[in-house]
Structure 1
Amino acid sequence: MFDKLFQAQQKAEEVKKRLDSISVLGEAEGGKVRVVASANKEIKEVKIDNAFLDQLQDKEELEELLAVAINKALQQAENVSQSEMQAVSQDLLGGVGGLGNLFAGKK
C-alpha cells in the first residue's frame, strides 16, 4: 500500500513539473493585452501593444483589460491542470482498484 502512495506522490511531482512547462494565454481587446501563465497558475509575462498603449487615455480601462486577460489565462491554466490531474487520477485508480479487497479475507 505504501508503494501506491509513493507512486502517487511521484506522479504528482511529475504533473507539477509538466504543468510548469505548459504555457496558457489570456487576451483582452483583441490581443492588444496578453497574459501568459504556466498551467500551475503562475503569471510569466504581460504584454501590452505599444500602439494601443499610446492611444489609451484611461488608466482604469487598462486595469480592467489586464484583469480580464489575467482571469482568462488563469481559467485556461485551471482547465489544463484539471485535465492533467484527472488523467493521473484515473491512471492511479486503475492501479489501486484492488484496495476494496484488502480487508476482505480478514475476519
Structure 2
Amino acid sequence: MFGDIMGMMGKIKETQQKIEATKQRLNSVLVDEKSSDGLLEITMTANREIKNLHIADELLQDKEMLEDYLITTLNKIITKATNINEAELAAVAKEGMPNIPGMDLFK
C-alpha cells in the first residue's frame, strides 16, 4: 500500500517538474496577431507577455481609434496565447496524473 502511495507521490512530483518546464518553454512560444488592416501588430508569448508592438503612424493621429485597435487586437492575442498555454499545461498534467478510479479530472 505504501509503495503505491510513494509511487503516486513520485509521479506527482515528476509531473510538477514537467509543468514547470513547460511553463518555461512557453516563454519562447510566440503568438502573433494583426488588426484586420495590418495597422497594429502584436507579438506575445504563450505565457501572455507582450514582446513586440508595432503601431502604424496613422493610428497615432487618432487616440480613440488606437484605443479601439488595441482593445480588439489585445483581446484576440490574449485568447490565442491562453488557449495554447492551457492546452500545453493540460496535456502535461493529464499525462502525469496517476490512474485513480473516479478521478477523471482531465477528460
Q: Which of 15, 22, 27 is the aligned partner of 2:29?
A: 22
What does residue 83 of structure 2 align with? 79
Superposed displacement of residue 57, structure 1: 4.0
Match of 2:62 among 54, 58, 64: 58
4+ residue stretches of structure 1 with deviation over 6 A? Answer: none
Aligned 8 A contact 1:29 1:65 in 2: no
Gaps of at least 5 residues in structure 2 are 1-7, 102-107
Q: What amino acid does structure 2 have at the position aligned with 1:28?
A: S
| 1:89 is the counterpart of 2:93 | yes
**Secondary structure of residue in 2 paired with 1:21:** coil
Matched residue, 1:105: none
TM-score between both structures, scaled by the size of structure 1: 0.77
What RMSD, in angstroms, separates the aligned Cα atoms of the two structures?
Answer: 1.7
Read off the aligned partner of 2:85 and give its amino acid letter: S
Please report the TM-score for the alignment, with normalisation by the length of structure 2. 0.77
Q: Which has the larger radius of gyration?
A: 1
Q: Give aligned pairs, total.
A: 94
> Structure 1 residues 39, 87: CA separation in 2 closer, same or farther (over 3 Å shift)?
same
3-state SS, counterpart of residue 30 of structure 1? coil
- Alignment partner of 1:34 is 2:34: no
Identity rate, percent:
36
Give the SS at the match of 1:80: helix
Structure 1 residue runs of 5 or longer lacking an equivalent are 101-107
